[in-house]
Amino acid sequence: MAHDRLKLGDVLAAAENAAPGESITVVAGNLRERFGAMAVSFLFVDVVGRQMVRVAEEGAPDKGEGSECIPLAGSVYEKVLRTQRLTAAPDGGAGQRVIAPVTNRGDTVGVLELTLPRAAGDVLDEVGRAAHALAYIIVTDSRFTDLYHWGRRTAPMSLAAEIQYQLLPSSPCCEADQFALASALVSANDVGGDTYDYALDRDTLHLSVTDAMGHDVDSALLATLLVNASRGARRAGQGLAEQADRTHQALLDHGRGGLATGQLLRIALDGSSTQLVNAGHPWPLRLRDGTVEEVALDVDLPFGVPASAGYRVQNLDLRPGDRLLLYTDGMQERRAAAVDLPALMRQTARLHPRETVRVLTAAATEACHGHLEDDATVLCLDWHGAAVPDGD
């Protein structure tokens, strides 16, 4: 087994030497050489989290055309992604069908599927390691190729949607000792300008959810101003009030009268403070000890309103074990108003935030019969509390 593990380490070197689009082939070759693996493929989770898109060993489909799409709901792939556990079962012949989660810091990139002549425990452990390595390879390679973007798209994107999705973090999920975070944005047919953002520094978790007024390209361009002004202030080391002011000023200077609501949060990883700015945005929901309640906050004017007198930094009570939900009004407007967010939060309390996010956005989509009239965005945070130093 030590020999096998040494060869597994070689997969990273092989991936480095190969073209960025050949990661599946590299991993498949490694598994075939070591364990006689057959029919190796990778399945992406699509952009909205409803389908799996298969990429065979030979490479991704040509720009998303002709790819095999499999509904996620109720499938074995959903179970593997939800539980984050590898599964093995007879394939109807002499082999074993193995499916392993491909996950990076809580982000369920997809699954690795293959057939093995035998599926002993030590072999399955190594397949799991290969799937984990593949996650890191894909995350790295996606910086250099569009292949993985093609793989995740099951329908063409409009210009507005392309702008909107490029504003989002590269991963909708993030995990650390102190928290687990998941986000999702489901665009309306006529894109509505929603965005979410997060960043993790050495001592602070930064979060934001924003909703630019209007629709289509105009709202996407307004969101571009909003997100980049906010990120610029954050990356310059400015405080939360200054970040809000800079975001507001960007809309005043360049937004052509456009407005946006939003919430900006900063959470100290040592648990000492959680601070928030609310610019005309719906209050967050907090699940604590089985009870869901709105977090009542002072609400300042939206970003871009000329009469704004500045933004107040408020303290938010966040305790270990709390779940916090930020969302845009598209989750509760028009037909989506039929969705009982507090009830769904209680029902999914034991699930990972990424599963809660999937349930919430699916409920909003179903309430609108598959055609949202406004973007629906959610950001779900589980706060575990400050990390305990080793030895304590």
- pLDDT digit string, tens, across residues 305-361: 998 678 999 999 999 999 999 999 989 878 888 899 999 999 999 999 999 999 999
What pLDDT score does 2 carry? Answer: 45
The pLDDT confidence band at residue 390, using thresholds 50, 70 and 90, is low
* CB within 8 Å of 10: residues ≥ 6 apart: 30
184 pLDDT above the threshold of 90:
yes
Name the class of domain 159-383.
alpha beta
Share of the chain above pLDDT 70, in %: 92
What pLDDT score does 382 carry? Answer: 99
What pLDDT score does 4 carry? Answer: 54
Per mean pLDDT, which of 28-42, 72-86, 245-259 is the most reliable? Answer: 245-259
Q: What is the pLDDT of residues 269-302, one digit of tens each?
A: 999 999 999 999 999 999 999 999 999 999 999 9
The better pLDDT of the pair 157, 283 is held by 283
43 pLDDT above the threshold of 50:
yes
The pLDDT confidence band at residue 50, using thresholds 50, 70 and 90, is confident
The mean pLDDT of 60-65, rounded to a whole number, is 48
CA distance 243 to 372: 31
* Equal CATH topology for 2-152 and 159-383: no
The mean pLDDT of 379-392, rounded to a whole number, is 84
The pLDDT confidence band at residue 61, using thresholds 50, 70 and 90, is very low
Task: Detail the DSSP E strand segments found in 35-193.
Answer: 38-45, 51-56, 68-71, 87-90, 96-104, 107-116, 173-176, 179-186
The mean pLDDT of 95-104, rounded to a whole number, is 93
**So where are the chain's domains?**
2-152, 159-383
Q: Give the strand order in the sheet containing 96-104.
A: 68-71, 51-56, 38-45, 107-116, 96-104, 87-90
Residue with tokens 């687990």: 180
The mean pLDDT of 135-146, rounded to a whole number, is 87
The pLDDT confidence band at residue 57, using thresholds 50, 70 and 90, is low
The mean pLDDT of 25-32, rounded to a whole number, is 86
Between the alpha carbon of residue 271 and those of residues 111, 197, 204, 386, the distances in Å are: 34, 21, 10, 5
* CATH number of this structure's domain 2-152: 3.30.450.40
